[in-house]
Amino acid sequence: MRIGDAKQTYVADEAIWTTSTQKFWFSILLLGLLIFPLLANSYLLYLGCLVGIAVISTTGLNILTGFTGLISLGQAGFMGVGAYTVAWLSTNTGLPFPITLLLAGLMAAAVGFLVGLPSLRVKGLYLAIATLAASVFLHFIFAEWESVTGGMEGLSLEPAHLFGVTFRSDFAMYFLIVPLAVLAVLAARNLFRTRIGRAFIAIRDRDISAEILGIPLLRYKLMSFALSSFYAGVAGGLFAYFYRVVTPESFPLTMSIFYLAAVIVGGMGNLLGGILGAAFMTLVPEALKLLTAALTPFFPNAPVFMSPMLEIIFGALIVGFLIFEPHGLAEIWRRVRRFFHLWPFRS
């Protein structure tokens, strides 16, 4: 509990950062994000971009699953919609990235809206299965609609560009991805200070009472679906610009499970949790790669075990967090902070 933070206006009381300490740390964070690419080597930059994309998509899924209580197994499919939209637009129209990314988000949102429509009749797990069906259909379309998607070969595209500037290197992409990630999280943070965010949470906690209190369930569920898919679409668009090639195999069902795992491991219904989960889940495979590389001189067949180990670790993280720490990394982080707030008076 902080003291001395009395407020004189409601605006100040409802601000995102209510104390000067918080403002200070957020500035440090932004500064760190700005300086990072100047100091980092190319590998770290590459990781930074990956984490940024994952943060956007995880935040989107967190809005749907963590805050609205609608589980989705379609996140990878929605990202695919965004990625193909960007790839097709940039190749066939040459539009600059702000427009292609926006259209990628809107296209994914439209698809998400359609997928959410069964929520008129079904809820909970049935809805999850509707999203599973959507991801099967989307994968099918990516692979078979060859005139648009290029079939199994996929599409390759030129780097993102705007006003003559091209974003070719990871260094340049970092400055495209990370600011968008920060914006995406801030927008979500705003959402949950307003009536629409509250309506989402109300639907998650008690949908029937929410309806009786004046929240039209279908409209808000569809809104949550569309918004979450918009995030996924933008993340997918960035994915396309980052790798500059998009194939049906870029967005497998396991990727949807990856994002679900990121939300769970980070902490459902907690934006900070989504960020931590996205970073953690992106870095685990990398850490495993490093470990494998280090072990290979001693165990020559170590690389063979890497991919299965990764699947086991992902599964174990999902199960372990759900059983032992359902509030995820965000809760662990909170406990750590609490410890230092009180230290050394209590330990």
Partner 1 sequence: MNILEIDQLSLSFGGVKALEDVSLRVPKDTITTIIGPNGAGKTSLFNCISGFYKPQQGRITYQGKPLDGLRPPKRAGLGLARTFQNIALFRGMTVLDNIKLGAHVHMKTGLLGSLVYFGRARREEMAVREEVERRIIDFLEIDHIRRQPVANLPYGLQKRVELARALAMKPEVLMLDEPVAGMNREEKEDMARFILDIREEWGITILMVEHDMGMVMDISDHIAVLNFGKVIAEGDPGTVQKNPDVIKAYLGNSDIESLRRKLNPNREAA
Partner 2 sequence: MDWLFFGEISLAGLAMGGLYALIALGFVIIYKATRVINFAIGEIMMFAAYLFLAFAGGMEMSPWVAVPLAVLGGALLGGVIEKTMIRPMLGESPIAVVMVTIGIASILVGLVELIWTADPQLLPSFLPRQPVFIGELYLAPKIAYGFLIGMAVLVIYLLYFRFSRGGVALRATASDQAAAYSMGINVRRVFNLAWVFGSLAASVAGILVAATGGLSPQFGIIGLSVLVVVIVGGLDSILGALVAGVFIGWLETVAGAYLGGEYRMPATFAVLAVILVFKPYGLFGTHEIERV
DSSP state of 250: G
338 near partner 1, rule: CB under 8 A:
no
State the number of CA atoms in the 13 A half-sphere of 106 facing the CB.
Answer: 6
Tracing tokens 């956007």 back to the chain, one arrives at 56
91 near partner 1, rule: CB under 8 A:
no
Give Cα separations from 42 to 23, 159, 237, 288, 332 (angstroms): 30, 18, 22, 19, 31
State the number of CA atoms in the 13 A half-sphere of 270 facing the CB.
Answer: 20
For 165, list phi and psi in degrees, rounded to 5.
-90, 130
d(CA 313, CA 307): 10
300 near partner 1, rule: CB under 8 A:
no
263 near partner 1, rule: CB under 8 A:
no
Residues in the chain: 347
122 near partner 1, rule: CB under 8 A:
no
Q: Which of 6, 125, 208, 323 binds partner 1 (CB under 8 A)?
A: 208
What mask, x for binding partner 2 by CB under 8 A, covers residues 148 to 187?
Answer: ----------------------------------------
Structure tokens at 45: 């930059």
Q: Which of 71, 150, 204, 246 binds partner 1 (CB under 8 A)?
A: 204
State the number of CA atoms in the 13 A half-sphere of 108 facing the CB.
Answer: 35
What mask, x for binding partner 2 by CB under 8 A, covers residues 113 to 142?
Answer: ----xx--xx-xxx-xxx-xx--xx--x--
- The DSSP bridge partners found for residue 161 are 166
64 near partner 1, rule: CB under 8 A:
no
At its nearest, how many Å lie between partner 1 and the CB of residue 214? 3
Evaluated on CA atoms 329, 332, 336, 341, the torsion sign reads: positive
Q: Which of 83, 157, 235, 260 binds partner 2 (CB under 8 A)?
A: 260
Footprint of partner 2 on 44-103 (CB under 8 A)? 65, 69, 71
At its nearest, how many Å lie between partner 1 and the CB of residue 124? 17
6 near partner 2, rule: CB under 8 A:
no
303 near partner 2, rule: CB under 8 A:
no
At its nearest, how many Å lie between partner 1 and the CB of residue 59? 12
In sequence order, what are the residues at sequence separation of 6 or more whose Cβ sits closer than 8 angstroms to the Cβ of residue 67? Answer: 192, 197, 200, 201, 204, 224, 269
Applying CB under 8 A, which residues contact partner 2? Answer: 65, 69, 71, 117-118, 121-122, 124-126, 128-130, 132-133, 136-137, 140, 143-144, 208-209, 212, 254, 257, 260-261, 264, 304-305, 307-319, 322-323, 326
